[in-house]
Amino acid sequence: MLTLISEGRKSALCSVLARSGSVPAPAGSRLLVREDGTLAGTVGGGALEGQVTLDARDAIARDAPVIRRFDFGGAKTAESLQICGGRITLYTEVVYPTGSERELVESTLREMKKSRSVALATAVMSAYPDTPPAGHRMAFGRQGPIAGGLAEPGWSELVIEKSLPLFDGDDPLFLEVENPVQRCSALKGFLIDFIHPAPVLIVFGGGHIGRPLARLGALCGFRVVVADDRAEFASPERFPDADQTLSGDYGKIIGQLEIGPRHYLVSVTRCHTTDLQVIEHTAGTPAAYIGMIGSRRKTSMIRRELEGKGIAREHLERIHAPVGVDIKAETPEEIAVSIIAQLIAVRRAHRPTIHHEKIFL
């Protein structure tokens, strides 16, 4: 989007407003359509996406947004679009190459590069009062607006207030305007997306399994950090896909990390002693996932040792050990696949839904 804005080109952004039943686009799906019809992102593919792409190109040509509801309850409709049934509403808006849009996108990207979450609020309109529209989008954080703004300060304050309870989650929010707003009769509501930095995979151990694990982690959308107590096993040359490599005592490394609920930790170090050290220092953290390689005998022994060190049992019970999905893996690459599969299962355990609330302006 930033590239298109910088080049002075219009595009169309398609977002999911509501969905029910069996439809291909998860909540939070987005599709960016260029003027020539080429795409970035997806709202599920297939014939549905083909129709949405046509709507997007039409929106660009007419300088007009589109709100379209697809109902796949009928057998004929469902069959033609290759899905089982359900309903979905999509909003297609035109993204103009204006200075305000560029500032908003650049500000959002800056926050993400600093590992900060951002909320993006968009005024959903059936028509644009002016072209290009103004006061229709705002990026904000927990402390307030970052860039852009809605047409009236009161609207911005209301949107932020309603959004904060959902800020740390992945579920979008649609605030539907209940009362007609005479001064902006085309305003239907506000769609708020919560945009988070990529989850962080910290691989403790740069050996045979650590290498393919880091590579697969980067491929699957994780920001990868590799740590090893041997400098030669945690070098950028050995791990070109890693965002960061750290070497030194594991306890000291972990003490310097700010581990939060979007971190995934895997211990595949060189021996029992170092795995014990990693788990001892990470078991009580709020990480989304903690896993440790090893046989059932080894993992059982480490649990007993850590209980003897005073680590609470509830912390130890959340450790995935032996690590990975049981796919009868043998090679380092196969073991890495089994671990990544488990990480994905934990990451996607919650299927996003769209929170819907009616508001009065």
Average pLDDT over all residues of the chain = 92
pLDDT the model gives residue 20: 84
pLDDT the model gives residue 123: 96
Kindly tell me the burial class for residue 21, based on how many C-beta atoms sit within 10 Å of its own C-beta (0-12, 13-18, 19 or more): middle
Q: How confident is the model at residue 71 (pLDDT cuts 50, 70, 90)?
A: confident
Instruction: Give me the residue label for tokens 């800020």.
Output: 167
Amino acid in position 151:
A
Question: Both tokens of residue 145?
Answer: 């607006």
Q: Give yes or no for residue 254 having a pLDDT over 60.
A: yes
Q: How confident is the model at residue 113 (pLDDT cuts 50, 70, 90)?
A: confident
pLDDT the model gives residue 303: 87
pLDDT the model gives residue 201: 98
- Measure the CA–CA gap between 257 and 269, rounded to whole angstroms: 18
Q: Give yes or no for residue 195 having a pLDDT over 90.
A: yes
The answer to whether residues 164 and 143 touch, using CB atoms and an 8 Å cutoff, is: no
Q: How confident is the model at residue 47 (pLDDT cuts 50, 70, 90)?
A: confident
pLDDT the model gives residue 57: 96
The pTM is what? 0.82
CB hemisphere CA count around 274 (13 angstroms): 21
Can you list the positions of beta strands (E) in 172-242?
173-177, 187-195, 200-204, 223-228
Amino acid in position 134:
A
pLDDT the model gives residue 104: 97
Q: How confident is the model at residue 78 (pLDDT cuts 50, 70, 90)?
A: very low
pLDDT the model gives residue 74: 58
pLDDT the model gives residue 73: 67
Count of residues making up the chain: 361
pLDDT tens figures, 83-97:
556 889 999 999 999
Listed in sequence order, the DSSP H helices in 220-355 are 250-256, 272-282, 296-308, 313-317, 332-347
Where are the domain boundaries for CATH 3.40.50.720 in the chain?
200-347
pLDDT tens figures, 305-358:
998 988 888 999 999 999 999 999 999 999 999 999 999 999 999 888 999 999
Fold of 200-347: Rossmann fold (3.40.50)
pLDDT tens figures, 7-32:
999 999 999 999 888 777 788 889 99
Q: Give yes or no for residue 120 having a pLDDT over 50.
A: yes
Q: Give yes or no for residue 267 having a pLDDT over 60.
A: yes
pLDDT tens figures, 157-168:
999 999 999 998
